[in-house]
Structure 1
C-alpha cells in the first residue's frame, strides 16, 4: 500500500489533518456540549455500537468512543481530500467550502449515521442543532478545508 493517495496527498498529511479536526471537535464536544465530562462524551460515542451498555462500561468504552470519534474524523478528512483534488472551486473558496462541508458533515451525521446506530434517540432541539452545526463548521469543516490541499493547476 502506498503512503499517499492517488492524488499525491500524503497519508501522513491526511492523518495529521484528521487528528487536528478530531481533536478540535472532541474538545468542543467535551467542553461545550458535555460541560467537561470527558468520559461521558466518549461513552456516548461508543453507545453508537454498544448501546446502553456503553454508559455502564469503563475505560474500554471510553477508548472505543475515542477510536470511533477519530475514525469518523479520518473518514470525513479522507472524503474531503478526494473531492478537493477533483473540484477546483473547493480549494478556490476554502472559507465557503469549510462552512458548507461542516454543514454537510452535520447533515450526514444527524440524518444518516446517528439514526443507524444504537445511540439513544433524542427529540430535535433547534438550539442544540445550531450549536452542533457551528461546532462542526469550526472544528471539522474549516480545518479540513483549510489544511487539505486542493486541485493543482
Structure 2
C-alpha cells in the first residue's frame, strides 16, 4: 500500500468541476486548546499537498464526509482506481490501522497530486489561530 500524501492534517475541502473534490493537507494541526498536537513530518513546510479526486459516483456523497474530517490526521491511498482513507495516528501499527467510515474501496475516475504554495494570508490565519489558542490557555490558567 502506498499513500499519496506525506502531510497528514486535512485543512480544506473544496468542490471542483467534473464531480471532484480538492483536499488540502498541511503538517500544522488546527490549533485547539483541548487537543494534543503532534507532527508527522518536518515542522516547516511552505506548501500544502493538494489531491484532486474525481469520483465515479456523485461527489456530494463524499463532500460532507470529508468536511467532517477537517483537522483529522489522514492518509489517502488510491490504487486500481479505488480510494481508501486511513487514519494516520496508528498507521505504523498494521494491526491498529483503521479506515475512515464510509471512505474505503470507493471507485474514482482519476486523481491529481500537486503542491500548492502557502500565501501570506494562509500564514496570517495560522498565526491568528495559534495566538487565539495561546491566549485561551493563558486565560484558563488564571
Same fold (TM over 0.5): no
Instruction: Give the structure-2-normalised TM-score.
Output: 0.27
Instruction: Give the structure-1-normalised TM-score.
Output: 0.26
Structure with the higher strand share, 1 or 2: 2
